[in-house]
Amino acid sequence: MDNLRREKLVLDSLDARLLLLLTDSPRLGVLECARRLGVARGTVQARLDRLTERGILGGFPPELDLAAMGYSLTAFAVLEIAQGKRAGVAEALAAIDEVCEVHATTGQGDLFVRLVARDNDDLQRVIDEVVSVPDVLRTSTSIALSTPVPPRVRPLLERTARTRT
């Protein structure tokens, strides 16, 4: 593979195998990762540094169960907002503790918001807080009944790990 093609690769097989290893065991040290991958410690450290520098690896947050923390209800809200007000609305939404993520979207609404609540009454409180944000014009909320496919990247990493570079 020529250097130009290699530079265009976002992840190679070793990067993917390293990320899979850290996905399964995020507390592993560099030396243990190197042992399990069969490469030098310096190679693992250089890969981690490069993945971090390129913004692919952002850290090692713990996986938290929000239901176990008392937030048993997950909902999704589609917000229609005033034109040109996305940044201000997003900033106001970020100040609401129960707002877990916000995506700017195409289609019916302008923002897609994942939020959590303790129960239905608490959800009403959170929705009231969301709709009181200036420049939020309309909202449509759906409650998640279950999560048959949780957020994941494993299949993408596994596919990349299988490819030869």
Co-location of 21 and 80 in the same domain: no
On whether both 48 and 76 belong to a single domain, the answer is no
Average pLDDT, the chain: 92
How many CB atoms within 10 Å of residue 1? 10
Q: Which of 24, 46, 61 is the last residue before a domain boundary?
A: 61
Domain of 51? 13-61
For residue 87, give the CATH number of its domain: 3.30.70.920
Report the alpha-carbon angle 124-125-128, nearest 5. Answer: 85
| Domain shared by 72 and 89, yes or no | yes
102 and 76 in one domain?
Answer: yes
Q: How far apart are CA 154 and CA 24, in angstroms?
A: 10
pLDDT tens per residue, range 1-40: 444 444 456 889 999 999 999 999 989 999 999 999 999 9
Please state the domain count of the chain.
Answer: 2
Whether 102 and 116 share a structural domain: yes
Environment class of 24 (CB within 10 Å of its CB; exposed 0-12, middle 13-18, buried 19+): exposed
User: Same structural domain for residues 85 and 25?
Assistant: no
* pLDDT greater than 60 at residue 139: yes
Q: How many residues does the chain have?
A: 165
More confident residue, 61 or 28: 28
Question: How remote is the C-alpha of 154 from its chain's centroid?
Answer: 13
Asked whether residue 136 falls in the same domain as residue 114, the answer is yes
- What is the Cα–Cα distance from 156 to 165, expressed in whole angstroms? 16
Q: Are residues 88 and 131 in the same domain?
A: yes
Do both 138 and 78 map to the same domain? yes
How distant, in Å, are the alpha carbons of 18, 138, 163 from that of 48?
Answer: 9, 43, 20
Q: How far apart are CA 88 and CA 79, in angstroms?
A: 13
Please tell me the distance from the alpha carbon of residue 162 to that of residue 15, in angstroms, as a whole number. 11
pLDDT (mean) for 116-124: 98
pTM (2 d.p.):
0.80
CATH number at residue 24: 1.10.10.10
